[in-house]
Amino acid sequence: MSNNDFIIEQISDNENFTEKQKKILEAAIELFSEKGYASTSTSEIAKKAGVAEGTIFRHYNTKKELLMSIVMPLIAKFVGPIVVNDFNKVLDHPYDHIEDFLRATIENRRAVLIKLLPVIKIVLQEIPFQAELKEYIIEQFGEKIFGLFVNKIKIYQEKGQLIDIPPNSVARLMLTNIFGYLISRYILFPHNEWDDELETERTIQVILHGLSPKEK
């Protein structure tokens, strides 16, 4: 099953979607993720879906309503459990060393990003322009995950494995590096040659030791 098929299955779960409606959603997901919401017209979506443009507006009053019909159900029904609950498995595990915790965090977020890549592309593109979407994501995930991550940082600071600066700052710096690597790997430069294991270890080392050479 392709990513798009999997995503459509989640959106249409317990809904009486027609085959035409599923084709519209599939076409919209593909075009929104490739070209961006603003650069995609409903006529393009209709052409790709093999339906008349009027068919789109029988199901969705506006292009924005179509966008929200894709991202909101996924966030509420599927992305939420994966992003929050699945990450809790990492946060709840008592890793002795910060390196192991960071490695597990990277691999956990990598798996989520790969599975939901088309819709994550759409969300990243539209967060700056869709206030409703931004607020919903912050409310559903940002505050919950960030608070749990900060609590984990405090544990490693108490163990003496991290420097004593505000844990909120440590968490932001770590997450910036982790998501910067994953977004570069799978969204910005997916066709570059990547050694995932090596890049993971390099990301961890930069987080913990920076880029300065070790003192002799």
How far apart are the C-alpha atoms of 28 and 6, rounded to whole Å? 15
Measure Cα distances from 146 to 171, 197, 202 in Å: 8, 25, 23
Tell which wins on pLDDT, 61 or 216. 61
Look at residue 155 and tell me if it is in a domain: yes
Q: What is the pLDDT of residues 68-86, one digit of tens each?
A: 888 877 676 655 666 667 7
**What's the average model confidence in pLDDT over 7-11?**
70
Look at residue 175 and tell me if it is in a domain: yes
Share of the chain above pLDDT 70, in %: 86
Q: Which residues lie closer than 8 Å to 64 by C-beta, 6 or more apart? A: 130
Predicted pLDDT at 132: 83
Place 126 in a pLDDT band, splitting at 50, 70 and 90. Answer: confident
Predicted pLDDT at 40: 94
Residue 149 has which token pair?
A: 């991550």
Residue 210: closest CA among 167, 177, 180, 169: 177
Look at residue 77 and tell me if it is in a domain: yes
Look at residue 214 and tell me if it is in a domain: no
Predicted pLDDT at 120: 85
Give the domain extent around 189. Answer: 3-209
Tell which wins on pLDDT, 180 or 117. 180
Residue 201 has which token pair?
A: 């270890």
**What's the average model confidence in pLDDT over 27-31?**
91
Place 17 in a pLDDT band, splitting at 50, 70 and 90. Answer: confident
- The listed range with the strongest mean pLDDT (13-17, 77-81, 84-88, 146-150) is 146-150
Residue 121 has which token pair?
A: 């592309």
Look at residue 215 and tell me if it is in a domain: no
Domain count, the chain: 1
In the predicted model, is pLDDT for residue 12 greater than 70? no
CATH code, domain with 76: 1.10.357.10
